[in-house]
Structures are given as structure tokens and as C-alpha cells.
């Protein structure tokens, strides 16, 4: 049997090798993929999160035995400060959040405190007791932070913030606090901390088991031979495979690290970046369902609810800033992203090892990025 090639450890200029990295929200879908990739890059990874919700990709990847697994609520400032102080990380990727729009209507207080106060606590831990060496901090928010007018327009990083639902509003408020901390406490180019925020959303990929997300809902229906119930079939989103924004976060983290040595352009890097798909990957929910059943035969039906909580009908991102300043761009287009996602679930359902599936997709993604001549993927 031919051994599956693993991800290249030399990606991102080998910056992450042997670095101490704290990932908050490491038990979540995106956090688990990020930890798997960081381990492949040779990083020393510590995760901080509340308990795992089952089923979970975190368990499927057996990450609890492969990294330092710390449990705690991101709203607990003394504990967050203790973890940051003991680890003295080189990098922090802050992903911990309440990430669901519909849940934010039933738990607005938990949504605001987790997303806003939790983010403040991470920055406060670094502010009060900076690591004894340099630390690059990537604060992850969402594409839903913008004052969405639901028109044919791609939002830029300088556009006004807003938020109709509690989730979107909490993330917009988080962005304001990030900007405040950056300007008030981390603006010194010669300081120990370089901080930036990253906006992305509507990610798909294997191992997402959350409720009220389109792809997991599709997979659960297909697994039991049922029709897929689709809400908001005409809503348009910037769909992207999870590895696309993660490559953006890692590219941004590497650029922040380099900004300690190269002061030219440091202010541009220590700012805010959108990480989204190319415009042609902005598709409707119905388009996604159609693409899913191309890869896993089945049917879907419209289950739009007239009395359902408000969710945006149209949202697009402009990614020119990331392309110009970070030389980043997405790798897998819409059809490939859905194909890779569905193949992961089908293979895992057929008893394939989820860890091997995940590592293989990371390796394939890096190889495709190298073919596209992206700087971060070059040996």
C-alpha cells in the first residue's frame, strides 16, 4: 500500500516550526483543522477551550493526546491570564466563540459575553503580562461584522460595522474592541506584541457536526436516506473550504512575525483582513444543495420559514487587501470545496481514518497552492 503523503512542514517559510502556539477554541471545527495543520508544520500547540461537544472532529483526530489540552471558559480572565502567562506563546490564534446565528437569538447574553468579553480577555492577558519575547496575535471574527445592506456589493475592511442579529452584532463589537486595543496598547512597532484581526465565514469542510449549518445538515439527512431540508435557499454567501481561511490566518500570523524584523509596512499588516472566496464562489444556499447531491446522490426541498429569525440574504467580501499586502488568495473554488467536503464525510462514513483524510486534504491543498505559485506554499 502506498503511504499517503503528509503536509509539507516547510510551508509558511518554516516560521511555525518549534514555536509555542496557543489556539483558543481548539475543540471546534475550525480549531481542530488549524491544530492539525500546525502540528504538521512542527509547532508546539496548546489548546484552550470549554468541553467538547460530541460528535467532534477534535475527538476524531485524537488531538487530546497530540497537543497540550487546556480546558476553561474564555470568559474567565484569571484562568486565561494564567494559561497565557505559563505558556508565554510565540503565536496566539483566537478562535473561541459562540459561532451560530440562530443560537444567538436564544442565548444573546452568552453570545455577547463569549464573543466580546472572551476576546477582550485574550488581549488583556497579553497586555497586562506580555510574553518575555515577541508574540503575534491573530484575532478571528467573521464576515458578518459589516453593516449589511444586502446589495450587490463586496464589503471592504474599511466599510462600516453593524449587525442585525446578536451574533453579528457581537462580532462587530469585538472588532471595535480589537481596534481599540491595537491602537491603545499594541501600536508600538518596537513592542513585544503584533496584533491583527481576520474576517471570514461560511466555511465548509469535513468534520463539522454543528447544528443549523448547511453542510452538516445535508450530510445528516443523506446518511439516513432522507431528503435535505433547506432554509433560505436564495440566500447568497461567500462559501469556501475551511483550508482557505486557515491558510489566510497562517499567512497573516507569519506576516505579523516578520513585521517584528521588517518595520516597513508593519502598520498595514497589523490591521484587519478579509479572507473569502473569489467572486464566482458566491453562491446561493440552493446552489450548494445542488452541488452536494451531485457528489452524494439525494434530493432536497425548500423548508423556508416565514417566521424564522432574520438571517442575511446576501453577503459578499472583497479580498483585494489580502491579495495585495499578504499575497494571499483562495485555492479551492466552489465545486472543488464542496467535492472535498462531501468526499471527507463519505470516506469517514465508510470507516476511513478521519485523521488520515484530514492530513491528505491538507497535503493536497498545499500542493495545489504551490502549483498556483502562492508564496506561502513554496518550499
Give the integer Cα–Cα distance in Å for 16 and 252.
12
Q: What is the pLDDT of residues 230-248, one digit of tens each?
A: 988 998 888 999 999 999 9
The sign one gets for the Cα dihedral 236, 240, 242, 244 is negative
- pTM, 2 dp: 0.95
Better-scored residue on pLDDT, 211 or 59: 59
Give the integer Cα–Cα distance in Å for 87 and 320.
35
Q: What is the pLDDT of residues 69-111, one digit of tens each?
A: 999 999 999 999 999 999 999 999 999 999 989 999 999 999 9
Output the DSSP codes for 249-278.
HHHHHHHHHHHTT--TTHHHHSSEEE----
User: What's the pLDDT score for residue 1?
Assistant: 31
- Give the mean model confidence (pLDDT) for residues 254-280: 93
Give the integer Cα–Cα distance in Å for 200 and 365.
18
Task: Please report which helix (H) or strand (E) contains residue 93, including its range.
Answer: strand 91-94
- Give the mean model confidence (pLDDT) for residues 53-59: 91
User: SS3 for 371?
Assistant: helix
- Give the mean model confidence (pLDDT) for residues 215-227: 96
Structure confidence at residue 6 as a pLDDT band (50, 70, 90): low
Structure confidence at residue 3 as a pLDDT band (50, 70, 90): very low
Residue 352 φ then ψ, to 5°: -70, 150
Q: What is the pLDDT of residues 280-330, one digit of tens each?
A: 888 999 999 999 999 999 999 998 776 667 666 788 899 999 999 999 999
- Give the mean model confidence (pLDDT) for residues 178-201: 94
CATH H superfamily, domain 17-305+314-377: NAD(P)-binding Rossmann-like Domain (3.40.50.720)
- Going from N- to C-terminal start, the domains of the chain cover 17-305+314-377
In terms of Cα–Cα distance, which of 328, 336, 318 is closest to 241?
Answer: 336
User: What's the pLDDT score for residue 10?
Assistant: 86
In terms of Cα–Cα distance, which of 36, 363, 65 is closest to 207?
Answer: 36
162 in Cβ contact with 146 (< 8 Å): yes
- pLDDT, the chain, mean: 93
Q: Which residues pair with residue 91 across a beta bridge? A: 21, 136
Amino acid at each position: 500500500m502506498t503511504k499517503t503523503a503528509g503536509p509539507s512542514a516547510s510551508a509558511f517559510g518554516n516560521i511555525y516550526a518549534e514555536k509555542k502556539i496557543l489556539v483558543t477554541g481548539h475543540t471546534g471545527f475550525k480549531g481542530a483543522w488549524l491544530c492539525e495543520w500546525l502540528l504538521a508544520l512542527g509547532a508546539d500547540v496548546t489548546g484552550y477551550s470549554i468541553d467538547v461537544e460530541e460528535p467532534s472532529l477534535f475527538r476524531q483526530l485524537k488531538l487530546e493526546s497530540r497537543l497540550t489540552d487546556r480546558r476553561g471558559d474564555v470568559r474567565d480572565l484569571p484562568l486565561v491570564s494564567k494559561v497565557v502567562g505559563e505558556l508565554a506563546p510565540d503565536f496566539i490564534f483566537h478562535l473561541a466563540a459562540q459561532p451560530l446565528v440562530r443560537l444567538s437569538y436564544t442565548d444573546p447574553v452568552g453570545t455577547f459575553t463569549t464573543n466580546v468579553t472572551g476576546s477582550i480577555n485574550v488581549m488583556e492577558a497579553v497586555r497586562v503580562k506580555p510574553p518575555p519575547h515577541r508574540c503575534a496575535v491573530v484575532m478571528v471574527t467573521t464576515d458578518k461584522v459589516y453593516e449589511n445592506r444586502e446589495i450587490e456589493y463586496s464589503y471592504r475592511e474599511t466599510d462600516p460595522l453593524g449587525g442585525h442579529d446578536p451574533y453579528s452584532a457581537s462580532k462587530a463589537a469585538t472588532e471595535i474592541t480589537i481596534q481599540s486595543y491595537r491602537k491603545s496598547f499594541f501600536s508600538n512597532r518596537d513592542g513585544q506584541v503584533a496584533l491583527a484581526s481576520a474576517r471570514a465565514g461560511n466555511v465548509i469542510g469535513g468534520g463539522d457536526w454543528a447544528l443549523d449549518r448547511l453542510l452538516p445538515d445535508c450530510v445528516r439527512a443523506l446518511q439516513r436516506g432522507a431528503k435535505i431540508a433547506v432554509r433560505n435557499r436564495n440566500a447568497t454567501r461567500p462559501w469556501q473550504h475551511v483550508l482557505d481561511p486557515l491558510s489566510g490566518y497562517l499567512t497573516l500570523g507569519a506576516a505579523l512575525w516578520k513585521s517584528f524584523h521588517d518595520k516597513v509596512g508593519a502598520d498595514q499588516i497589523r490591521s484587519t483582513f478579509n479572507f473569502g472566496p473569489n467572486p464566482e464562489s458566491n453562491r446561493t444556499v440552493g446552489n450548494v444543495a445542488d452541488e452536494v447531491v451531485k457528489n452524494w446522490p439525494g434530493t432536497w426541498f425548500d423548508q423556508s420559514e416565514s417566521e424564522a429569525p432574520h438571517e442575511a440574504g446576501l453577503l459578499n467580501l472583497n479580498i483585494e487587501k489580502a491579495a495585495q499586502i499578504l499575497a494571499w488568495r483562495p485555492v479551492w473554488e466552489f465545486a472543488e470545496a464542496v467535492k472535498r467536503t462531501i468526499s471527507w464525510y463519505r470516506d469517514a462514513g465508510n470507516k476511513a481514518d478521519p485523521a488520515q483524510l484530514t492530513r491528505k486534504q491538507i497535503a493536497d491543498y498545499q500542493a495545489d497552492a504551490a502549483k498556483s505559485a502562492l508564496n506561502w506554499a513554496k518550499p
